[in-house]
A = this chain, B = another copy of it.
Amino acid sequence: MDKVDKKEKILDSAQCLMLDKGYVATTVDEICESAGVTKGSFFYYFKDKEEMGKEMAQRFSSRGKQCCEGLKGEADPLKRVHGLLDMITEISKTADFKGCIMGIFSQELSETHPEIRKICETSFDGFISNLEKDLAQAKDKYAPKSSFKPREVAEYFLATFQGAMVLARAKKDKKIVERALSQFREHLRMLYKK
C-alpha cells in the first residue's frame, strides 16, 4: 500500500462510517481500525479530524461532478437531464450506495463547522447550476412559452433527492429514492410537454 493508497483508505473508511453514523459519532480510533492504520498515521496525513472531513467532502463532491462529466456528450438538453436521472437512479440501486455526505454534513455540522458547511453549499450550488443550464436549454427548445424557473426546478430536484435519502434512512428502504426520482420525472414530463 503506497502513501496515496493509505490516505485514500482512511478517507474511504471514514466516509463509509460517517454515511452510517454521521460525523460526530464516528471516532478517529474507529476510522483507523477500519482502515487498518494507526492513529499516528492518521494525524500524519491530516491535521485534525475536521481537516479530514473537509478533504472527504471535497473528494465526494468532485467525484460526483466527474460522474456527471460523461453525460455532457448528449446533444439534446432534455435527454441530458433524463440521462442524469437515469444515472442517479442506477447508483441509488446499487448495494454500496449509502447516501450523500453533503446531506449528512449539512444536517449535522452547518452550525458548528462553518468551513465544512461552505463546502456543502458550494457543492450543492454547483450541482444546481449544472442542472439549471440543461433545464434552461431544454425549456428554450421544448417549452419556450412556459413560465417555470429552471433554477428553482433544479433546486427543487436536489431537495427531493436529498429528502428521499432522509426518508430512505428512516424506513431502511432505498426504493423510496427510486420512487421520488420517478415522481420528479413525471413533474418534468408535465413541465416540458408541448
Contacts and interface: CB of A to CB of B under 8 A. Distances in A.
Interface in A109-134: 110-112, 117, 120-121, 124-125
Interface stretch (A6-14, A74-82, A83-91, A165-173): A165-173
Interface in A61-113: 102-104, 106-108, 110-112
A148 interface: yes
A107 B104 CA distance: 6
A112 B26 CA distance: 11
Contacts of A159: 160, 163-164, 166-167, 176, 180
Given A156-B183, A163-B162, A22 B21 contact: no
Contact of A183 (B107, B152, B183, B186): B152
B102 A170 contact: yes
Residue from A108, A117, A176, A184 having most chain B Cβ neighbours under 10 A: A108
Contacts of A110: 169-170, 172
Interface of A: 20-22, 24-25, 102-104, 106-108, 110-112, 117, 120-121, 124-125, 148, 152-153, 155-156, 158-167, 169-172, 176, 179-180, 183-184, 186-187, 190-191
